[in-house]
Amino acid sequence: MRTQQGYFDNIHSTECVFEPPRLDGRRLVIPVQTLALSSLHPLFRDDVEFERGEFIFDGVVSSRRSILAHRGTSAEGLNQFAPPTEIVDIESADVDGSAASDSRPVQTFEFEGTLASPPAWIALWIVQAKSFTLRLE
């Protein structure tokens, strides 16, 4: 496994396929496939187009996503989606008192992609957390 903290802006998530997130206290772990890294990312490999691994957010204050469930394909071959649904994984009111002892600033991380199960387009996923780490297989 290769791990790198930070460098979130050097990740391209549009083609990513995300599995449902796991929440462990104030740590949010999101398994990811078909992840593309820019050549500026320290974990970038010239010989690999897509990576697989996990987005790890620590000191999470909130996680919310807007998804459009996949409803199938039209006769013309176009994907059809349900209206947007908001999902809240964790909200600041749900956070225990440990945030006060952590002096790191809260950062906002925004990304999009596809949810594997149930099949859906993630129009926008916003995570507010103290840090981000990428772990690759």
Asked whether 122 and 55 are in contact (CB, 8 A), the reply is no
**Could you tell me how many residues make up the chain?**
137
Looking at residue 79, its pLDDT comes to 79
Q: What is the pLDDT of residue 77?
A: 78
Task: Look over the chain and give the mean of its residue pLDDT values, rounded to a whole number.
Answer: 90
Tell me the pTM: 0.89
> What HEC string does the chain produce?
CEEEECCHHHEECCCCEECCCEEECCEEEEEEEEEEECCCCCCCCCCCCCEEEEEEEECCCEEEEEEEEEEEECCCCCEEECCCEEEEEECHHHCCHHHHHCCCCCEEEEEEEEECCCCEEEEEEEEEECEEEEEEC
pLDDT digits (tens, 9 = 90+) for 47-98: 888 999 999 999 999 999 999 998 888 888 777 889 999 999 998 755 555 5
Residue 13 has pLDDT above 90, yes or no: yes
According to the model, what pLDDT value does residue 49 have? 87
- What pLDDT was estimated at residue 30? 98
pLDDT at 8: 97
Percentage of residues in the chain having pLDDT higher than 70: 93
Q: Which long-range contacts (CB under 8 A, 24 or more apart) does 34-40 make?
A: 35/11, 35/136, 36/11, 36/12, 37/10, 37/11, 37/12, 38/10, 38/11, 38/12, 40/7, 40/10
88-109 pLDDT, tens digit each:
999 875 555 555 567 889 999 9
